[in-house]
Amino acid sequence: MWVLCLGALVIICITHWVYRWRNPSCNGKLPPGSMGFPLLGETLQFFSPNTSCDIPPFIKQRMKRYGPIFKTSLVGRPVVVSTDPDLNYFIFQQEGKIFQSWYPDTFTEIFGKQNVGSLHGFMYKYLKNMVLNLFGPESLKKMLSEVEEAACTTLQQLSCQENCVELKEATARMIFDLTAKKLISYDSTKSSENLRENFVAFIQGLISFPLDVPGTAYHKCLQGRKRAMKMLKNMLQERREMPRKQQKDFFDYVIEELRKEGTLLTEAIALDLMFVLLFASFETTSLALTYAIKLLSDNPSVLNQLQEENEAILKRRKNPNSGVTWQEYKSMTFTFQLITETARLANIVPGIFRKALREVNFKGYTIPAGWAIMVCPPAVHLNPAKYQDPLAFNPSRWEGMELNGATKHFMAFGGGMRFCVGTDFAKVQMAVFLHSLVTKYRWQPIKGGNIVRTPGLQFPNGFHVQITKKDQTHQRKHEPEYTTTN
């Protein structure tokens, strides 16, 4: 008899637990939605791969069923998903007051517990100023020639290869080498260990189901982080033991800060910051650059406009072989429109996470204190009510608009006080590479180029192209920069 009673008690407890999971307590009215299965929530559906260029199916289906604000559960946490521009704007404006930056525990494991995304208040502003010291506009003016040299060298090497090249890999290598040089004076040709290989392993599991079991993408990701952090720690230790007097890089700046009495910086924070900067700079920019060239391949009329603007810059020069000046860079109006349109369509960051510090009431719904909120950029960027023919690649839609930050309808680089500090650096690299590409080279897509979102943007088969140098004397005036194969 007691066995039946115990079994009944267990069933009652489980039933109650499942009920409470699916019906969380709230002082007001929670947004509509489903919490999915206990613990697992709707995580599998969220990470399910899709090939759509539209709003992710996971989001679109729930928007249609529940509206622009809905609840769900991801990786064990209750989450309110916002596709509402007004709520998104409110969240960004109330950063540090009502909301603060938050990411799932799995992200913290990957990026480090002291990573810049997990820090708040004065400490975050302190690190942000450190980064702007290296990648702010004034520093970029001095760095412009290095960016152009890296682009020209890469394109020259790619054009000399008989076989086609995988563009995402080639641009990632270029950007990583440049960024690592500026940050830690790392030279892959002189190092006995390949630092970037560890980041490749890291990237493959970044947007994957968080199962830390040997053989899974997430496990490989954590192992890649461990190896990369070991290399960075050894490099920092060597630099501290043998400081340099000249050729200042970010490591030198970090060491100076660590030596100051009463400094807020610790070695752990510095290493996590270095790790995030290396990852964010090359992975996101190389994805955007590859996607831009893929879009140009599919849209010859846009390519012609880009070519005309950049060739006009060469014609205005007294010496056509001189490098890009800051004034010339700032004059690339259509190029910037193209970069903005690429960022709108690419949606490299599928979600921006925050946490409610206290109970929030908005448009009749209550967000309980401690709940996570995911702002969904794709739903904003592909909203037909704001963007006419939202899936079309149309850089001219940005004509006459100057974006120096986020708006209610554009947040490809984040928003509020956490607007991405590397935005200007990414734009410089993209603009200069595209300038060198369309004025001196042509390309022919060979294979790949298809995209998959899991939910982040990926090129599972790469984007393989053949790059050749232009024959300036025989090229017709309006000959396209690329050719396609059947």
Quick one: angle between helices 121-135 and 267-298, nearest 10?
60
Name, of 26-40, 164-178, 208-222, 275-289, the range with top average pLDDT.
164-178
452 Rama class: left (phi>0) / alpha (psi -120 to 50) / beta: beta
pLDDT tens string 313-349: 999 988 877 899 999 999 999 999 999 999 999 998 8
Average pLDDT over residues 241-246: 73
Residue 164 is labelled as binding a ligand: no
Token duo for residue 77? 């946490």
pTM tops 0.85, yes or no: yes
113 against 86, higher pLDDT: 86
Token duo for residue 323? 């490098």
Average pLDDT over residues 418-443: 91
Average pLDDT, the chain: 83
pLDDT at 472: 44
Asked if CATH classification 1.10.630.10 holds for the domain at 23-469, the reply, yes or no, is yes
**pLDDT for 293 beyond 90:** yes
35 contacts 72 by C-beta, under 8 angstroms: yes
pLDDT tens string 384-425: 999 999 999 999 999 988 766 667 889 888 877 667 778 888
Nearest to 351 by CA among 131, 136, 56: 56
Average pLDDT over residues 279-304: 92
